[in-house]
Structure 1
Amino acid sequence: MLTGTLVTVSGFLPIALAKSSTGEYTRSIFEVSAISLIVSWFAAVVLVPLLGYHMLPEQQHHDGSAHGPDVYETGFYRRLSGWISACIERRWVVLGVTAVLFAIAMAAFTRVPQQFFPNSERPELLVDMRLPEGASFDATLREAKRLEKVLDGRPEIDHVVDFVGTGAPRFYLPLDQQLQQPNFAQFVITAKDVESRERLSHWLESTLASRFPTVRTRVARLENGPPVGFPIKFRVSGDDIATVRGIAEKVADKVRADARTRNVQFDWDEPAERSVSFEIDQLKARQLGVTSEDVSGFLAMTLSGYTVTQYRERDKLIDVDLRAPKSERIDPSRLAGLAIPTPHGPVQLGTIGHVRDTLEYGVIWERDRQPTVTVQADVRGEAPSIGVTRDIDSAMATLRATLPAGYRIEIGGAAEESMKGQTSINAQMPLMIIAVLTLLMIQLKRFSRTFIVVLTAPLGLIGVVAALLLFGKPFGFVALLGVIAMFGIIMRNSVILVDQIDQDIAAGQPRFTAIVGATVRRFRPIMLTAAAAVFALIPLLRSGFFGPMATALMGGITIATVLTIFFLPALYATCFKVRSDERESRAMDVASSETC
């Protein structure tokens, strides 16, 4: 029991040691599971026998002994014994059917929807409003006020909080926080319940599109797991901004072409911020005795102002600034007519240079020191974002092949974070394997027996795939953690059964009889513990976060337990070449018969 418990705990090791934000987010699963399993083992070996001694009555047989009739001589156990014997006699058929089922499950796994983390079941909705680059704080505030009036009186809403010029503070750990920007506003809308949240979300999407056509908006639920923002992202990087944006437009067309996507956006816009600059003709400026410093100081004083003195009012000093009238400051075309004073007299700016009035990028995002445009989108309904991302990426194979040298398209969003999380988990798998094998070798003392136990672990994947497809659940990161832990649960049952077989053989029973008898005697405890685990997971089925994991575990444990009862005896008999005619013969020396 202790070895089985420690093997189960070892199955959670990759979760505890994963060096990623995903691992940090899910580490508590290992901590809670490990503590619970170890405490339950202490209760099983200390508390349960004590309670049984004091609470269970001692049953007296008719002959005065304390032993009643053999429960394994009932009709059910006789039939079970016959089924197990048939599996051993037709071992190659059993092994072949199991291998075929496993191959079918692996092929069917490609049809299981892929997911990173599900959306939160909290009642909040996030509404992002992003005006064009260069928009003022006042303009953003006006649009936010308009949306407040639109939301006023909606029956689904409990309360609303909006933030103008910045995003909401981190009131929720996985919140995707936004940078401070004057053209950005974020609303946190708390609905009365989850059903109201969904109705409100659909209404908001259509209302914002019709009543705020010039504002980029996004309606999103809160996330679970590491924050990713838009679930679908493709990054386009290169040296030239214009070329990068051209490629990004083509990527956006590919994303829009998929009917499962919506709200396709770029993370930074076309040039929209007005920029006024003055280019000096240095030759003419030197001829007229004007330096670049003179021009810079004059323009700074004209446009921004220059403190010339201070005015005292009681105990306060107030700066007095000198600058040009507003009409000259807001009209760039009038700058050329301004006269800059020099020792030789005033000189018009237009005679020593010219004014350039252009539009510039308000924001330029770079990645690895290269301009990078991110094409991002949401998914419609409950479409699996990872599957959608992979399909779109496959559709861009031709586009990737025609990219200029030095330009690249990378996957981001939920697919990238999922890959990072799985990579961090996979990096710790060797340690888990070493820990499990060490425990098994200590308990079983033979590599062949350890091989048998380990070979039963993947059988749970048959049930995992079947359950996920049957109930239409996605396979996400949390479900992956459940599957890894399931391997430990399956191997625990196998350890108990193999150890019982070895004990019976060591006691002198024929090997065939020992395999059948040990399996029959361990049938009830193995099935009851599996059933208890399955029933304990039922309350989690309706959970948006743990539902896929519960479905995967229930299917995997159920199928693996049944296969353990019938597959493991056949595998044991195959490895040790147990003959059918050994039912009545004495057990031979195990060491001389081991071939695996």
Structure 2
Amino acid sequence: PIYVGDVAEILDTTKEKTSISTIGIGTTPPRNTVSVQIYKNTGGNILNIADTAQDTIDGLFASGALPGDIDIVKTNDNSVFIKDDITRLGTSGLQTMVLIILILFAVLGIRGALITGFSVPVAFLMAFMFIWWQGMTINSMVLFSLVLSLGLMVDNSIIVMEGINEYMHRYKKNAFDAALLSIWNYKWPIIAGTMTTVAAFLPMLLVSGIMGEYMGILPKTITATLLSSLFVALIIIPALSAKFYKDPAKKQTNKVHHSEKIRVYVEKVQVRYVAFLRNILPYKKKRRRAILVALALMVLTILLPITGIMKVNMFPAVDIDYFAVNIELPTGSTLEKTHAITQKAEAVVQHIPELDNYVSTVGSGFSAYAGESGGSGSHVASIVVNLVDAKERKRESYEITESVRAELEAIEGGTVRVEELTAGPPTGAPFEARIFGPEIDTLTEVAADVLAIAENIDGFINVEDTRQESSGEFTFTIDRERVTYYGLSVNTVANAIRQAVYGAEATNLTVNGEDIDVTVKYDEKNLADASDLENILLQSPTAGQVPIRQVATLTLEPSVYAIAHRDGEPILRITAGVEPGADLRAMTSEFNKQIAALELPTGYRIDVGGETEDIQKSFTEIFLSFIVAIFLIIVILVLQFDSFKKPFAIIFSLPLAIVGAFFGLTLLRLDFSLPAFIGIVSLTGIVVNDAIVLIDRINKNLAHKMDFIDGVIEAGIARTQPIFLTSITTIAGVLPLALSEALWAGLGFSIIFGLMFSTVLILVFIPIVFTSLMQKDYKNGKI
């Protein structure tokens, strides 16, 4: 008998290695590792998953299932970010509550502060019921929405409590009557104000895509809390006030209520305020001059982002505890060669002072952008660099990446790039140019020109194209006539070549319950180069053994590893990151200018996308939601005041808020980001509340036949303290949030500066605009 061992070498070995994974802790040499990743199912609780995984590992060690000399290191735990968010937002919420209670205590007294503060947990309880009913989970956006709504939800209660205090201390009404009078007087302004705020947030649900899903939580949560706070202000607050407030007549004390002391200081401000209004309101030229000043401020505000003084970005740079380094060699490079370049990058990473650990994977890459994979193959590798906790380092993560970027990218032998994660939902690359055309060779030539343009624009980093060229491919061109002459087929030739290169799986064996493949392949010594493939013998039914060179010609030709398509068209993409602080909008504009000078072949075009496209789409949709919000607000105001002119006096307050927001962001050197835009949209509802209360008081004064100018000025005097108090509590509610994290700074400070600016100007410009619009109608008896 002839055995297999007589004609072949039999080896019991492992499959060819396709990846190498190592871990380095601090400056210690890296060790081999096996990486295990655990993913959360939809609806799963990431905190429970992380805790259960750790308990399982501890249990395996305790039971002896895992040897004691094995180390298990948790290098990435996204539950930590959730815990940090909960802690940070929870702390901001507590700070907000303390600030609001202190402000209310100073103005309303201890009983008023406690009664008003009681509206928060009740409104939150009702909001949580809505969140549970909607199937929403407690995540960062829900927590942020709840903290943001803290300052908003007490506004209604403050107006009611201010009215109760006014009736009790100024008009000596008992608590029960004061509560009824306050509700009777303010119920419709409160309802209208709440509805306008809801109308400002609710259209955000119109935003589409992943950004819509990300933002949709905000209007849902805030709408729930605001409607809950409206119920509390109109039902619960009056009942508690009637129950726990003492009647003024029953108080046997000569002590002046401290709210009256505050009112004394307010009255000093009001004296100057009255003098200012009396110097402007009766005179048409002065009113027009004031309106022109406001319009000039609006024009200057619009110029801030247009001129580049205020930069525009999707999301601000944030501090994240890890970043990645991608290494790429020419396609076809061996695993060992890629590992050697990776070790050079590891040597740079080891010298980062803030380093905790790093995990290197040769055989797969890392992508920080949505919709893209880091790639795989023996020619790519990635290093995930984990930094120590932010509390233990002085530099932000993006400062650390900038400090090592040049040294890493200078490594020879491959392309090394530093990838950073961004805030907000997953998005594409910050910059992307898409080149479309029918022929891949021409596309490659155009892409080279576009790549050179992007590389020469200051601010772009990690500029690369998505063309995946291989190191070439050996092509057998089969002579069909000769194949037919020898009684062979194209498939016979192809199978012979495939089995020579990759081997053929003959069978599999079961050893100790484990299936082992049996592969038959040529001895690699007999395939030293490609020309040896031409000597492979084919079994011909007519001519015996025929070498492949008799029926096919071998050539080496250039090749592309993959050709991407979009909507059926071949496409090459040029992607780039952006340096921290760089103006993506200005850089894209410069890129477009240089691209316009290129002479593209017929049938080829270049589209610019990436974050620029995301910014344009998201800002456009939010702007449309802003228009819808204004329309809804106007409808509510028309129904509230039964007039078309009066709502325009209130709408005039919106640009005033934007003026304050833009100048505030510029002063703090904050970019006009998507969160900042959301903050400005939020202002549309918040600011209108103060204007509604003011106009409502003017209407009541004029209904009592007061002189027009006197009625307008008295309304300003009467509503000064409530307007300032609601604005201060809203600012106090947002301030801890704005200071807690860079992601929310733009949103928080746009609301803060918008309110600071508009609160003062509302008390000035609303009377001016209202007088200009309505004084003639009043004199003609139309109102």
Q: TM-score range by the shorter chain?
A: 0.7 to 0.9
- Corresponding residue for residue 78 of structure 1: 271
Supply the distance in 2 between the matched residues of 1:289 and 1:556 (Cα, whole angstroms).
85
Deviation by residue 1:124-172 (Cα, 9 ceiling, x = unmatched): 11222222223344544454455445544643112223344335699xx
1:373 corresponds to 2:572: yes
Supply the distance in 1 between the matched residues of 2:467 and 2:639 (Cα, whole angstroms).
59
Tell which has more relative contact order, 1 or 2 (C-alpha 8 A, sep 6+): 1
1:185 corresponds to 2:381: yes
- Corresponding residue for residue 404 of structure 2: 204
1:233 corresponds to 2:432: yes
**Quick check: 2:679–2:746 contact (8 Å CA) kept in 1?**
no
Supply the distance in 2 between the matched residues of 1:43 and 1:229 (Cα, whole angstroms).
44
Supply the distance in 1 between the matched residues of 2:776 and 2:669 (Cα, whole angstroms).
42
Count matched residues.
577
**Quick check: 1:174–1:224 contact (8 Å CA) kept in 2?**
no
Superposed displacement of residue 21, structure 1: 1.0
1:245 corresponds to 2:444: yes
Supply the distance in 1 between the matched residues of 2:607 and 2:296 (Cα, whole angstroms).
37
Choose from 646, 649, 660 the match for 1:449.
646
Deviation by residue 1:217-252 (Cα, 9 ceiling, x = unmatched): 222332112323531221111111122122222222
Choose from 251, 258, 281 the match for 1:88.
281
**Quick check: 2:197–2:685 contact (8 Å CA) kept in 1?**
yes
Q: How does 1:195-594 map to 2 (within 5 A)?
A: 195-196=394-395, 197-198=397-398, 200-210=400-410, 212-269=411-468, 271-306=469-504, 321-342=519-540, 343-399=542-598, 402-429=599-626, 431-542=628-739, 543-578=741-776, 590=781, 592=782
1:58 corresponds to 2:251: no
Supply the distance in 2 between the matched residues of 1:540 and 1:68 (Cα, whole angstroms).
32
Supply the distance in 1 between the matched residues of 2:364 and 2:498 (Cα, whole angstroms).
29
**Closer, same or farther: CA 460–200 of 1 in aligned 2, 3 Å:** closer
Q: Which moved more, 1:315-324 or 1:253-262?
A: 315-324
Superposed displacement of residue 302, structure 1: 2.7
Deviation by residue 1:389-434 (Cα, 9 ceiling, x = unmatched): 23322332222xx222221111122111112212333454454344
Supply the distance in 2 between the matched residues of 1:68 and 1:323 (Cα, whole angstroms).
97
**Closer, same or farther: CA 5–230 of 1 in aligned 2, 3 Å:** same
Supply the distance in 1 between the matched residues of 2:729 and 2:509 (Cα, whole angstroms).
83
Supply the distance in 1 between the matched residues of 2:586 and 2:378 (Cα, whole angstroms).
36
**Closer, same or farther: CA 479–142 of 1 in aligned 2, 3 Å:** same
**Closer, same or farther: CA 316–43 of 1 in aligned 2, 3 Å:** closer
Supply the distance in 1 between the matched residues of 2:371 and 2:357 (Cα, whole angstroms).
19
Q: Which moved more, 1:99-108 or 1:295-304?
A: 295-304
- Corresponding residue for residue 126 of structure 2: none
**Quick check: 1:159–1:190 contact (8 Å CA) kept in 2?**
yes
Supply the distance in 1 between the matched residues of 2:735 and 2:484 (Cα, whole angstroms).
85
Supply the distance in 1 between the matched residues of 2:471 and 2:267 (Cα, whole angstroms).
86
Supply the distance in 2 between the matched residues of 1:73 and 1:129 (Cα, whole angstroms).
65
Supply the distance in 2 between the matched residues of 1:516 and 1:313 (Cα, whole angstroms).
96
**Closer, same or farther: CA 526–253 of 1 in aligned 2, 3 Å:** same
- Corresponding residue for residue 19 of structure 1: 208
Supply the distance in 2 between the matched residues of 1:344 and 1:507 (Cα, whole angstroms).
117
Query: Counterpart of 1:161 in structure 2: which amino acid?
Result: V
Superposed displacement of residue 279, structure 1: 0.8
Q: Percent same amino acid at aligned positions?
A: 22
**Quick check: 2:204–2:215 contact (8 Å CA) kept in 1?**
yes
Supply the distance in 2 between the matched residues of 1:201 and 1:507 (Cα, whole angstroms).
68
**Closer, same or farther: CA 48–315 of 1 in aligned 2, 3 Å:** closer
**Closer, same or farther: CA 429–100 of 1 in aligned 2, 3 Å:** closer
Superposed displacement of residue 551, structure 1: 2.3
**Closer, same or farther: CA 154–26 of 1 in aligned 2, 3 Å:** same
Supply the distance in 2 between the matched residues of 1:374 and 1:320 (Cα, whole angstroms).
43
Matched position secondary structure for 1:545: helix
Q: Which moved more, 1:101-110 or 1:293-302?
A: 293-302
Matched position secondary structure for 2:383: strand
Supply the distance in 1 between the matched residues of 2:648 and 2:637 (Cα, whole angstroms).
9
**Quick check: 1:14–1:426 contact (8 Å CA) kept in 2?**
no
Superposed displacement of residue 470, structure 1: 1.6
**Quick check: 1:239–1:406 contact (8 Å CA) kept in 2?**
yes
Q: Which moved more, 1:66-75 or 1:82-91?
A: 66-75
**Quick check: 1:72–1:521 contact (8 Å CA) kept in 2?**
no
- Corresponding residue for residue 116 of structure 1: 314
**Closer, same or farther: CA 311–144 of 1 in aligned 2, 3 Å:** same
Please list every run of 5 or more consecutive structure 1 residues that lacks an aligned counterpart in the other structure.
Answer: 580-586
Please list every run of 5 or more consecutive structure 2 residues that lacks an aligned counterpart in the other structure.
Answer: 1-189
Q: Which moved more, 1:516-525 or 1:217-226?
A: 217-226
Superposed displacement of residue 253, structure 1: 2.1
**Closer, same or farther: CA 444–152 of 1 in aligned 2, 3 Å:** same
Supply the distance in 1 between the matched residues of 2:676 and 2:506 (Cα, whole angstroms).
69
**Closer, same or farther: CA 298–491 of 1 in aligned 2, 3 Å:** same
Matched position secondary structure for 2:603: coil
Supply the distance in 2 between the matched residues of 1:340 and 1:176 (Cα, whole angstroms).
44
Matched position secondary structure for 2:280: helix
Q: Which moved more, 1:348-357 or 1:42-51?
A: 42-51
Q: Which moved more, 1:438-447 or 1:134-143?
A: 134-143
Please give the TM-score of this superposition, normalised by the length of structure 1: 0.87
**Quick check: 1:120–1:221 contact (8 Å CA) kept in 2?**
no
Q: Which moved more, 1:335-344 or 1:483-492?
A: 335-344
**Closer, same or farther: CA 297–256 of 1 in aligned 2, 3 Å:** closer
Supply the distance in 2 between the matched residues of 1:164 and 1:325 (Cα, whole angstroms).
27
Matched position secondary structure for 2:562: coil
Query: Counterpart of 1:120 in structure 2: which amino acid?
Result: V
